[in-house]
Structure 1
Amino acid sequence: MTKDVVDQGSFSSKDYHDPPPAAFIDVKELTTWSFYRAVIAEFIATLLFLYITVLTVIGYKSQINKGDDPCGGVGVLGIAWAFGGMIFVLVYCTAGISGGHINPAVTFGLFLARKVSLPRAIMFMVAQCLGAICGVALVKAFHKTYYDTYGGGANELAQGYNKGTGLGAEIIGTFVLVYTVFSAIDPKRNARDSHVPVLAPLPIGFAVFMVHLATIPITGTGINPARSLGAAVVYNKEKAWDDQWIFWVGPFTGAAIAAFYHQFILRAGAVKALGSFRSSSTHV
């Protein structure tokens, strides 16, 4: 009787299966086409992301500097929508191929949580950075005059803010994004709410949108080292490089904190509760 109760309790308390941790170095995946297909998907997705978003930033600046209606154009709200909307679209398109990272900080966080192997994480980051550079290069090639005049969409620390404030904004902003990613792909939530996998790109896109609203006035919003690097490489002006470290240290720190919080506090709490339930069931 006791065994039946334990078995039933275990089943009812956990109706999902956590995927096993990814191997630290998986040599076999380097020989599969799916691995390289995922790398290509990350490259193309980041290229498209930077092309649309940087073009939106430059287009807005060109509109407000022509002496037209200062309220004309897409505004800061439109820029935030461009970044969040593109992430929603691209995560939706690539989630089944590469996981839809499109951001070295996201890849880093998932690597720390053992969701991806080291070779995959490195290749994704390289592909994302190259894709970002190519995406911004396309913007410059097609709109060279506006590109040079309006700053190339490069991230810079705004006047009136110190480096500590900028770093803090990048850490917290990236934490919000990566925490949302972990929540969206949580197998426990997916098992409980079957619609979550379908809607996963939506909260991720909204997280990017909301963070941009908050931090565009401070850093122009990085939260994506590939985005910041791509714009800086192509624009290649001194100011774009002055604070480049903020757009790497901040996002990677925020991603690490989010990975730790989700994996070792939220998920660990669920495991502890499950163990306590089993313990109490044994004494029935």
Structure 2
Amino acid sequence: MRKDMEAGAEFTAKDYTDPPPAPLVDAEELTKWSLYRAVIAEFIATLLFLYITVATVIGYKHQSDPNVSGPDAACNGVGILGIAWAFGGMIFVLVYCTAGISGGHINPAVTFGLLLARKVSLIRALLYMIAQCLGAICGVGLVKAFQKAYYNRYGGGVNELSSGYSKGTGLAAEIIGTFVLVYTVFSATDPKRSARDSHVPVLAPLPIGFAVFMVHLATIPITGTGINPARSLGPAVIYNNDKAWDDQWIFWVGPFIGAAIAAAYHQYILRAGAIKALGSFRSNA
């Protein structure tokens, strides 16, 4: 009986201590291969993400083109639901593949949110963002190289504010959509939950992918769904359309604001960071 109680106590008593915050500037990190391996992983993952998703968008528009497919064109192609699945599914796959190497950010807004929460250093965050943007440009460049005629004809997969919506509405859609994504990232990768439930790290890519999928269903009609500045920048650079560049600020300002709000909400409200800091201050007084 005593052994059972001891075993039970050992099972339930899982002490947990928050990992220390990442240093803001860590010059020593630049000497480690693990950093450059992670940067390469972010570049390749974002390249693959943009290649598959933009190719899906172009393919759908071609298949549903009434000038090509006739009166039944609306029934052809994967549809809006399929496009949302392509984005969410690729994020699920790529986060699963790269989580153990780079953390599987694949999005400057996610990296920015984790930087604000001191989960990554400033040096790592900047290198990740550069790699993500370059990967996105190269990924869309491959789509154009393989499908040049269709790419130019069907809009290049760019994010633009849809007609009938104000810039304020588009900005709000990007803020809320990115908040949902980054909030999910924080919750799915919370080390406290990982310490308590061993299955959480394995399942983390699934809710993150579903978050991307659900946000796309809601915001494709408004902005085409950015929630990822690299995803918006890549097609804008390759397609180089005035409308895409005029609206580009929405797809940077919105996601960064949404990521910042999500980081603050998770760290200071859900994880009670502000209350813990205040309690520590009072105990030392």
Structure 1 length normalisation: TM-score?
A: 0.90
Deviation per CA, 1:192-238, whole angstroms, max 9, x where unpaired?
A: 22111000000000000000000000000000000000010000011
User: Could you say what the CA RMSD is over the residues aligned between the two structures, in angstroms?
Assistant: 2.0
2:62 partner letter: S
Deviations 1:135-156 (A, max 9, x none): 0000000000000000000000
Matched AA of 2:208:
I
- Of 16-25 and 173-182, more deviation after overlay is shown by 16-25
State the Cα distance separating 1:133 from its structure 2 match. 0.1
Which stretch of structure 1 is more off in the superposition, 100-109 or 190-199?
A: 190-199
Q: Distance in 1 between matches of 2:32 and 2:98?
A: 18
- Bigger drift between 69-78 and 93-102 goes to 69-78
Q: For residue 6 of structure 2, what is the aligned residue in structure 1? A: none
Superposed displacement of residue 17, structure 1: 2.4
Once the two structures are TM-superposed, the CA of residue 190 in structure 1 deviates from its matched residue by 1.1
**Aligned partners of 1:193 and 1:36: how far apart in 2?**
31
Offset at residue 24 of structure 1 (A): 0.5
Q: Is the 8 A contact 2:174 2:227 kept in 1?
A: yes
Amino acid at match of 1:63: Q
Are 2:16 and 1:16 equivalent residues in the alignment?
A: yes
Which residue of the other structure, out of 169, 182, 185, is the alignment partner of 1:181?
Answer: 185
Residue 102 in structure 1 maps to residue 106 in structure 2: yes
Residue pair 1:128, 1:226 contacting (<8 A) in 2 also: yes
- Write the distance in 2 (CA, Å) between the matches of 1:257 and 1:55: 32
Pairing 1:238–2:257 present: no
Which residue number corresponds to residue 58 of structure 1?
58
The aligned counterpart of 1:117 is: 121
Is the Cα–Cα contact under 8 Å of residues 188 and 200 in structure 2 kept in the other structure? yes
The amino acid that maps onto 1:37 is R
Q: Give the TM-score, by structure 2 length.
A: 0.90
Matching residue of 1:163: 167
Query: Relative contact order, CA 8 A, sep 6+: which one is greater?
Result: 1
Task: Count residues with an aligned counterpart.
Answer: 266
Look up the equivalent residue of 1:171 and give its one-letter code.
I
CA distance in 2, matches of 1:144, 1:69: 22
**Bigger shift: 237-246 or 137-146?**
237-246
Where does the alignment leave 5 or more consecutive residues of structure 1 unmatched?
Answer: 1-10, 280-284
Instruction: Give the corresponding residue for 2:255.
Output: 251
Confirm or deny: 8 A CA contact 2:158 2:232 kept in the other structure.
Answer: yes
- Pair 1:270–1:256, CA change in 2 (3 A): closer
Cα 1:14–1:263 change in 2 (3 A) is farther
Name the counterpart of 2:5.
none
For 1:25, the aligned partner's letter is: V
Give the ranges of 4+ consecutive aligned residues of structure 1 lying more than 4 Å apart after TM superposition: 11-14, 269-272
Which secondary structure does the structure 2 equivalent of 1:70 belong to?
A: helix
Output the amino acid matched with 1:164: G
Q: 1:201 aligns with which of 196, 199, 205?
A: 205
Distance 2:12 2:179 in 1: 32
Displacement of 1:239 in angstroms is 1.2
Q: Distance in 1 between matches of 2:73 and 2:236?
A: 30
Specify the code of the residue in structure 2 equivalent to 1:18: D
Is 1:87–1:205's contact at 8 Å kept on the other side of the alignment? yes
Identity of aligned residues (%): 83
Instruction: Tell whether 2:215 aligns with 1:219.
Output: no
On the 8 A contact 1:222/1:247 being kept in 2, the answer is yes
Question: 8 Å contact 1:104–1:224 — kept in the other structure?
Answer: yes
**Of 129, 134, 141, which aligns to 1:130?**
134
1:150 aligns with 2:154: yes
Closer, same or farther: CA 170–13 of 1 in aligned 2, 3 Å:
farther
Give me the whole-angstrom Cα distance separating, in 2, the residues matched to 1:97 and 1:130.
19
Superposition deviation, residue 117 in structure 1: 0.3
Is the 8 Å Cα contact of residues 17 and 187 (structure 1) preserved in structure 2?
A: no
